[in-house]
Structure 1
């Protein structure tokens, strides 16, 4: 993935320094030198790297540091903060509002992936309750309208375009007027790709802007553009004055730092990253989360949002969440979780979001991981309805069931045993989460009732639990505000459509699944993908 090598090199430089027995100014300078070399090799602008170097050195002045200061922690924090500054222009981007028409216009170079990204963004907002539409104002590229039409039809998004009208400004104005009349919340206008040197196409771009008066103009930048990103983005900024950037093709293996340089050059925020070819492969960009992911610290918020978007309309997922809230976890629930993971994309994409998992999965083939997941689905599909809806105890009582399922799924008995073992572990987690959720509900009822004596007693119990290191390392829990946060975390209070998020059970489950997949199903023998059929019943 783009910038993955950069992240590894920066991580290695900081870790080498922090492990050093003699942490002096020379070790600090060596670390900065390696970080700068890594940034330069990733095509980050030379001037930006120089500024970063000065900022890190200025923040950590060895001569004036008090003896009590933890130098390693200070250096780690400084590197993190300065990398965040590198990709954060401290400028807010436009946020569309429901109940009114928000017109978004796309501009960018030829081949940057504008048309595909238009559909991805439309689908992103559509899954969040916006009424979205697409307008093809690219009359220059042959097949542009057909491509947008295919993408929009696949994503079930209304579209507008013309095969006869050659003036893109007229097409854009007609399309926007049509969808405004039909009260669409978000109208996305796709335009022709162009180069900085093509003055006629730049003039056309400004004519479209005048015709549709967009609320936001987005520049689409190919992550493989290299050092020319700064010059190209500056040219677009001078002509179209875009307010946001989307970086595409970040699933490739190019350096990618050139696109990051465009942020500093134009003082414009990146709002999304294109991470693949599928409609779901669009990640919201947040500077701190991006640097955390870059340094192998994960992006749990991004993982939560991604999973909720995938499972929002899934009846099976809602049933699973309901079961977990009650402390129940069936084999069918496990199958639903595995299916959700498969929808999320390749293992390399998922591993970047979960703290520490990128190191564990380094070198693991996406195809290999995907095959293991599919083999687990074959196992589930060879179970009876009663077995799927059960707790797995009947397999312990009647081991011959495992033999039947292994034969029916084209897998091995060892693989079936591993799946059942992982299910038992996760069912135990669900039971604990169900109990905690009931406790949280009781506490919430107390807060609503306003019984001060009960609330004081609850606070005292929670404080004692925190002091004893309870609650899974969540630290001392001094009072009700923290407990309210926990309830919100476990109850999916933010934009999840009332569905629990991954704050409690699901993230742990997913990590357990992944570690199980990497270590537990090593056998993988016998009969490959042949037997999807149901086992003999």
Structure 2
């Protein structure tokens, strides 16, 4: 997300940093570029105007102009104002209520409510250690109830059965009673969507909200719809007592207009963002980290948290001990490291969270792509166990067989083997306690995601 905006803003910020002194003219010139960048990112016009006015007021005041390092203070001002636009602080689910905490999911059809219901259930179950029940009150969309059942089974949440012959209010009330009897911590109610905002839909959801009195009413919106997302969110906020927003399909949105508009227009915080198709691809929305990321400063905290959560620590320690004692690092180990990197979203996802990556030349960015990781995994998967443990056996006809089996070329197989050989040499240099300490610090991550 924010790829285009980050590129534009990073260049504008770079110009500001390059100024020994700031004047009213160069501040206005920089803000003109920022304004254009925000408009191109499909940020709502009132939000852009308010943001530019606030930054300008602070930039031309004593706070910046009289400071010892005005350029650095200016960058700090832009970041702080971005944080304000995005929502000041991270806000999660409010658990300060008598269990079960009821979460009502609202939104238009196609925004991803049902999938997000499953993702939220998994998030609360895995990271908040909550006992979660889900129920579908969507009696209109074909197979909506069955879809939620499938999603619930995937994430290990309890699915409460409902039927298309029941009305949504009855479904909600019955599920709430069952959640109370079963001592559930959370009940998530998935509601029906429509292709557009209409009075009948709003009236139905409002009646359901009044009946089950949810602690949270979350508006689920597709980030890729940009400014329209903010306008739709405003319509829902006017009709319902919303407590927050969930942005979906954030990974496919290069502009970021929705994220930068929703909070200001609705007055409601963005609580979560969907960052991929997998059921664990739901993350809390951190305004300060997002602001840093937009300005090309990276998001190291999120990267560290992701490593902590997704890296298999037992495997990391086992591999560290193996290498430290001088045992051979095999292609099986290499394959395992590539799989763990892929589980974290791939090399490009990791690099996006590191400071300064937006300033890398396009040629370098193009080389660091996750297609190469998939290709390497395909090559290794086409090898026999013996070949993975004794790569020196892979010559001539074996290379041809592996290339044919993986859909790659003999040159690709040779490059992989060469890269693996280089890694082995590196491992020998780090053999001993020093290597073990380094491995433990990195959580077992090996620098294996290099492109062919």
Question: TM exceeds 0.5?
Answer: yes
In structure 2, the CA distance between the partners of 1:28 and 1:423, relative to structure 1 (3 Å rule), is farther
Q: Distance in 2 between matches of 1:340 and 1:196?
A: 41
Q: Write out per-residue CA displacement over residues 495-516 of structure 1, whole angstroms, 9 at most, x where no aligned residue.
A: xxxxx7xxx3249x45x334xx
Cα 1:407–1:300 change in 2 (3 A) is: farther
> Contact (CA 8 Å) 1:222, 1:248: kept in 2 or not?
yes
> Whose relative contact order is higher, 1 or 2, with alpha carbons under 8 Å and at least 6 apart?
2
TM-score of the superposition, structure 2-length normalised? Answer: 0.83
In structure 2, C-alpha distance between the alignment counterparts of 1:280 and 1:192, rounded to whole Å: 23
Q: Secondary structure at the match of 2:226?
A: helix
Structure 1 residue 253 displacement after superposition:
4.4
Q: Could you tell me how far apart the structure 2 residues matched to 1:383 and 1:141 are?
A: 52
Superposed, 1:152-163 pairs within 5 Å as 152-163=152-163
Distance 1:326 1:213, change over 3 A: farther
SS in 1 for 2:105: strand
Aligned partner of residue 276 in structure 2, secondary structure: coil
Which residue of 2 is the match for residue 151 of structure 1?
Answer: 151
Is the 2:5–2:256 Cα contact (8 Å) retained in structure 1? no
Q: Does the aligned pair in 1 maintain the 2:135–2:175 contact within 8 Å?
A: yes
Structure 1 position 202 matched with structure 2 position 202: yes
Whether the 8 Å CA contact 2:335–2:377 is kept in 1: the answer is no
Partner in structure 2 of residue 225 of structure 1: 225
SS at match of 1:217: strand
Contact 1:376 1:419 in 2 (8 A): no
Seen in structure 2, the aligned counterparts of structure 1 residues 22 and 132 have a Cα distance that, compared at 3 Å, is same
Alpha-carbon distance between aligned partners in 2 of 1:354 and 1:99, rounded to the nearest angstrom: 41
Structure 1 residue matching 2:324: 3-state secondary structure: coil
Correspondence for 2:442 among 497, 502, 505: 505
Q: Does 1:324 align with 2:305?
A: no
Aligned length: 434
Q: Is the 8 A contact 1:84 1:288 kept in 2?
A: yes
CA shift at 1:247, angstroms?
A: 0.5
What pairs up with 1:233-382 in 2 under 5 angstroms?
233-253=233-253, 255-311=255-311, 317-324=313-320, 328=324, 330-331=329-330, 332-357=332-357, 359=360, 362-364=365-367, 366=369, 368-375=371-378, 377-378=380-381, 382=385
Whole-angstrom distance in 2 between the partners of 1:374 and 1:98: 47
Matches within 5 A, 1:432-447: 432=434, 434-435=436-437
Residue matched to 2:83:
84
Whether the 8 Å CA contact 2:316–2:443 is kept in 1: the answer is: no
Asked if residue 124 in structure 1 is aligned to residue 61 in structure 2, the reply is no
Indicate if the aligned counterparts of 2:118 and 2:152 stay in contact, CA closer than 8 A.
yes
Measure, in 1, the Cα distance between the counterparts of 2:146 and 2:167.
Answer: 17
- Matched position secondary structure for 1:187: strand
The two structures have a TM-score, normalised by structure 1, of 0.71
Is contact 1:97-1:185 (8 Å) kept? Answer: no
- Counterpart mapping for 1:410-421 below 5 A: 410=403, 412-421=413-422
Aligned to 2:113: 114
Q: Show structure 2 runs of 5+ residues with no match.
A: 404-411
Which whole-Å CA distance do the structure 2 matches of 1:346 and 1:275 have between them? Answer: 13
| Contact 2:347-2:369 at 8 Å conserved across structures | yes
Q: Does structure 2 conserve the Cα–Cα contact (< 8 Å) formed by 1:106 and 1:118?
A: yes
Q: Which residue is 2:45 aligned to?
A: 46
2:64 and 2:8 map into 1 onto residues whose CA distance is: 27
Distance 1:357 1:197, change over 3 A: closer
Matched-pair contact (CA < 8 Å) for 1:89–1:263: no
Q: Distance in 1 between matches of 2:345 and 2:34?
A: 30
Which piece of structure 1 moves more, 149-158 or 377-386?
377-386
Query: How far apart, in 2, do the equivalents of 1:423 and 1:354 lie?
Result: 26
Residue by residue over 1:331-357, the C-alpha shift from the partner in whole angstroms, topping out at 9 and shown as x without a partner, is 455433211112233544333223344
8 A contact 1:230–1:261 mirrored in 2: yes
| Superposition RMSD in Å | 3.4
1-structure distance, mates of 2:202, 2:432:
57
CA deviation profile, 1:136-194 (whole Å, cap 9, x unmatched)? 01112222112212222233332123234330111122223223322222221100114
CA distance in 2, matches of 1:64, 1:168: 55
Q: Aligned-pair distance for 1:248?
A: 0.8
Cα distance change, pair 77–150 in 1 and its aligned pair in 2 (3 A): same
Give the superposition deviation at 1:286.
0.3
**Structure 1: any 5+ residue segments left out of the alignment?**
388-394, 438-499, 522-537
